[in-house]
Structure 1
Amino acid sequence: MLLLLLLTLFAIVYAQIGYPCLMGLLARVRPRPVRVELPPPDGVSIILCVHNGAAGIQQRLQNLLECQWEGTREILVFCDGCDDATAALAERLGHPDVRVLSTPSRRGKAAALNDAVRQARHSFVAFADLRQTFHPAALQNLALAFRDPAVGAVSGLLEIAPSASGAGRGVDLYWKIERKLREWEAAFDSVIGCTGAIYAIRRECYQDIPPDTILDDVVIPMQIAQKGLRILYAPKAIAYDPQQLSPDREKARKLRTLVGNYQMLERHPAWMFPWSGRLWWQFVSHKTARLAVPWLMVAAILFNLLAVKTPLVWALLIGQAGCYTLALTGCALPRLRNRLVSIPAGFLMLQWTCARALLAYARHRGNLLRLWSPPPDAAARSAC
């Protein structure tokens, strides 16, 4: 029983701390250089899929038009079943670089992306969301990655306002670690998924995704990686999110992301095995292992209770009890901004959401398109 306890604790630590540390080490000792063999793309198609975005469409288009770009550019506004004035307001700008495409009924973002990519005129395709804004140099910094012919996609960086609550600060730390992990993964080989608010691909590498796909910003890059291409990370290609990261908003976003992870694992189980390609270990460590953590935490408590015979096991049990006490204190007192409680509280909140996600997916897996369409204020990122 002691061996099971130690293995369980090791798996938890590996998923949360061990893998990021190991990836940081590999990025330092075995980095894979980015070659510069091609000129940057001279044309870009920016795809903006929108459902009822009249309130912000003109401001968003103005931001995209103001981004620095020396070549040709088109912005494809794909109105997915909009029944407001989104299309009319986009067309009212009268800008030759803006094209508006519409469907009469809402089919979901994944279906809209499939149609929009087919309509794109340029090989360099960038994806954007409505609420965020791009740094003026964002497109240029994304394009630089494609000077390497081995690169099929590149993710940008999403900057989010810091949390106001104590528990939210634990979530902030989690997101900062995730961003650093992406940087290390890209230096070693490839990131596992992109930031949905800002990323780009080679159009010829795009493969249609099922219309009910939740994590398009993970599935699309992973399908490109299966072709032998790299997925890079460009932290200087920045999108800004004006909404503050709160625990409630993060829980809703995280629940959707984790449900999408379960959907992805069911549809692409081969990605977890060595024969699927070079990224299988990264995929298992970054995606699959984290899904197991809440269940490993329960197992660790049970094994600890059953193995209480030595001072070491008692110490582990007391340590677990202390960590949960701090976490529950942080959850009960969200305004408490002490890191000693806010970090465990954020961690526990994410694990609880992960457990809920499995139950939600099992219950609604046949109707995910309706239940898990992103709400208007959903943060466009897949951090898990």
Structure 2
Amino acid sequence: MPILLCSCIFLVFFAYFGYPLSLYLLSLLHGRGVEKGDITPRVTFIITAFNEEKRVREKLENTVALDYPALLLQVIVASDGSTDRTNDIVREFEGRGVRLVEVKNRGGKENAQREAVAVAQGEILVFSDVATMIEAGALRRMMANFADASVGCVSSVDRVLGRDGKPCGEGAYVRYEMWLRELEGRVNSLVGLSGSFFAARKEVCRDFSPDMQSDFRTLLNSMRLGLRGVSDPEVIGLYQDVADTSREFDRKVRTVLRGLTVFFRNLEFLNPFRYGLFAYQFCCHKLLRWLVPFFLAASLLINAALAPVSGLYLFLFLAQAGFYVCALAGWRSPSLARSLAVKLPLYFATVNLAIAVAWLRYLRGNRLVMWTPSQR
């Protein structure tokens, strides 16, 4: 039991800290930069929307104001069976270069993206959510990465703000993810893209499936073609945290469930003889991270059984219990959740509970297709 306890605790820490440390050490021996260039390829900017009448106008104003040659920029809104005024608002922008692709029967985000890709004219395709705002020069900076022939796709850096305009618990966690992506790109390739704002060469954007994340699948398509994914710290997607925390939990469950679907349909990437270092990244960043809830549960139960044995085990058990008490207190009291000492345990516990629920649904055969944007 002591060996099992140590193993569980070690795997949790390795998933979140050991893996990044290994990437940092590898970067000292094998750094891989991006050869950027001042290029302006033809771009198709794809926005996926479902019943976004409250936000789509702001998003389109933000998009048409991007600093990029108008003759080289095609903007498409793929409306996934919207039943409100979304389509009418998009049509108001037709004179400003925006095209509406109306998907009559709602089929999910990736299905709508696939419809848009079929009519896209750009060499580079950019995908963005309605909720994500983009700086005027971000598109040019993003395109500069494609001057490097080894780059197949580029991810933005996410910035999340709370209702008060300050970083929230999700924002702190997202900053950790962005730091991890930076390390991955510095060594080899990203393992996942930001689904709210990413770009890829058109030849990489194929085989979109309604039940498989387009951002994750696009990255894997790049690797399959001998290309890689990178993150650019100068390309930022800004969005607020969700207004309804219960819906945010559901969003996390959906995200992991779709990620599990992609992962288990692409187990070939665990082969180090074919994909080298990426196989290690694929295993650690995805599978090992998704197993953390089980390591956490096992360590708590084993620790509880060992607590009467010695003071050390009792201390470890109290530390674990205290962590979850903080998370529970933050869940019960929104005022306490504003404290950093509470919001981080709350977010960590919420993320891993969502992962556990996603596993349960996956093992039951649930393969989510429909997608509803989070209200932010």
TM-score (structure 2 length as normaliser): 0.89
Partner of residue 351, structure 1: 352
CA positional deviation for 1:306:
4.3
- Closer, same or farther in 2 for the Cα pair 1:170/1:42, shift >3 Å? closer
Partner of residue 303, structure 1: 302
Partner of residue 150, structure 2: 150
1:46-90 CA-to-partner distances (Å, cap 9, x unmatched) read 111222333333332221111001361111122222334433332
CA positional deviation for 1:114:
1.7
RMSD (Å), alpha carbons: 2.6
Partner of residue 363, structure 2: 362
Partner of residue 257, structure 2: 259
Partner of residue 135, structure 1: 135
- Closer, same or farther in 2 for the Cα pair 1:333/1:69, shift >3 Å? same
Partner of residue 33, structure 2: 33
Q: Give the share of equivalent positions with the same residue, in percent.
A: 28
Q: Is the 8 A contact 1:171 1:247 kept in 2?
A: no
Q: How many Å separate the matches in 2 of 1:12 and 1:92? A: 51
CA positional deviation for 1:275:
4.2
Q: Is the 8 A contact 2:163 2:241 kept in 1?
A: no
Give, as a single letter, the amino acid of the residue that structure 2 aligns with 1:234: D
CA positional deviation for 1:317:
2.9
Partner of residue 374, structure 1: 372
Q: How many Å separate the matches in 2 of 1:357 and 1:85? A: 33
Partner of residue 382, structure 1: none
Number of aligned positions between the proteins: 372
The answer to whether 1:341 aligns with 2:339 is no
Q: Is the 8 A contact 2:49 2:77 kept in 1?
A: yes
Q: How many Å separate the matches in 2 of 1:318 and 1:84? A: 52
1:89-134 CA-to-partner distances (Å, cap 9, x unmatched) read 3233342522222232112111122221121111111111112221
- Closer, same or farther in 2 for the Cα pair 1:292/1:98, shift >3 Å? same
- Closer, same or farther in 2 for the Cα pair 1:94/1:149, shift >3 Å? same
- Closer, same or farther in 2 for the Cα pair 1:276/1:83, shift >3 Å? farther
Q: Is the 8 A contact 2:257 2:362 kept in 1?
A: yes
Q: Is the 8 A contact 2:59 2:133 kept in 1?
A: yes
- Closer, same or farther in 2 for the Cα pair 1:102/1:228, shift >3 Å? same
CA positional deviation for 1:299:
1.3
CA positional deviation for 1:265:
2.5
Q: Is the 8 A contact 1:161 1:244 kept in 2?
A: no
Give, as a single letter, the amino acid of the residue that structure 1 aligns with 2:299: A
Partner of residue 205, structure 2: 206
- Closer, same or farther in 2 for the Cα pair 1:245/1:142, shift >3 Å? farther
Q: How many Å separate the matches in 1 of 2:90 and 2:163? A: 33
Secondary structure of the residue that 2:369 maps to in structure 1?
helix
CA positional deviation for 1:311:
4.5
More displaced stretch, 343-352 vs 280-289: 343-352
Q: Is the 8 A contact 2:81 2:105 kept in 1?
A: yes
State which of 262, 268, 272 in structure 2 corresponds to 1:270: 268
CA positional deviation for 1:230:
1.3
Give, as a single letter, the amino acid of the residue that structure 2 aligns with 1:220: T
1:231-262 CA-to-partner distances (Å, cap 9, x unmatched) read 01012212221455774453232122111222
Q: Is the 8 A contact 2:327 2:342 kept in 1?
A: yes
CA positional deviation for 1:135:
0.6
TM-score (structure 1 length as normaliser): 0.87
Q: Is the 8 A contact 1:48 1:128 kept in 2?
A: yes
The answer to whether 1:235 aligns with 2:236 is no
- Closer, same or farther in 2 for the Cα pair 1:375/1:35, shift >3 Å? closer
Q: How many Å separate the matches in 1 of 2:364 and 2:6? A: 33
1:139-191 CA-to-partner distances (Å, cap 9, x unmatched) read 1011010010000000012222136699x944332221111111111111111
- Closer, same or farther in 2 for the Cα pair 1:298/1:64, shift >3 Å? same
CA positional deviation for 1:288:
0.9
Residue ranges of structure 1 left out of the alignment (5+ in a row): 379-384
Q: Is the 8 A contact 1:165 1:246 kept in 2?
A: no
Q: Is the 8 A contact 1:160 1:245 kept in 2?
A: no
Q: Is the 8 A contact 2:76 2:101 kept in 1?
A: yes
- Closer, same or farther in 2 for the Cα pair 1:130/1:325, shift >3 Å? closer
Residue ranges of structure 2 left out of the alignment (5+ in a row): none
Q: Is the 8 A contact 2:155 2:198 kept in 1?
A: yes
Partner of residue 15, structure 2: 15
Partner of residue 171, structure 2: 172
- What are the equivalent positions in structure 2 for 1:218-233 lying under 5 Å apart? 218-233=216-231
CA positional deviation for 1:202:
0.4
